[in-house]
Amino acid sequence: MKLSADHKWTLLCILLIWYLCFFTPPKTKLDEVTNFDKLVHCCMYLGTMSIYWIEHWRRCIRRRLTNRPLREITVALLAPIMMSGIIELLQAYCTGGRRSGDWADLAANTVGVVLAYILGITVYKRLSRRYFTPKDAQ
């Protein structure tokens, strides 16, 4: 699987997540909103994995590839959750107190990944068939 060529927008989002998780955010009025950062975490992972699914189905349709459920579960479900856990551990132990690891962030990230997984195997798959199927195959 050529992840870099076929999933360039996903990789860009992953790099953005890594950057955002380790820079020191500015103080804003949104800091006062209870659990606003959890919503942001959920949306970051939902958005990134939604992009993954759209790129995945586009690739499968254009190259006439068959589904590989174990790979989809590993790449689209387990890998981002593991990445999220690693980021939270690194924030807790390697940022010198600038950032803190939070299990609630991991839970919010997991919710985003699971929502994208559900959308990916249902809605995005149907939409991709509609928009990415070559005209001669319809």
Q: Over the stretch 14-62, which tens digit does the pLDDT of each residue have?
A: 999 999 988 887 888 887 888 898 999 999 999 999 999 999 888 888 7
Residue-wise pLDDT for 72-115, tens only, equals 888 889 999 999 999 999 998 988 878 888 899 999 999 999 99
pTM of the model: 0.85
Domain residue ranges in the chain: 35-137
Three-state secondary structure readout of the chain = CCHHHHCHHHHHHHHHHHHHHHCCCCCCHHHHCCCHHHHHHHHHHHHHHHHHHHHHHHHHHHCCCCCCHHHHHHHHHHHHHHHHHHHHHHHHHHCCCCCCCCHHHHHHHHHHHHHHHHHHHCHHHHHHHHHHCCHHHC
What's the confidence (pLDDT) of residue 42?
A: 97
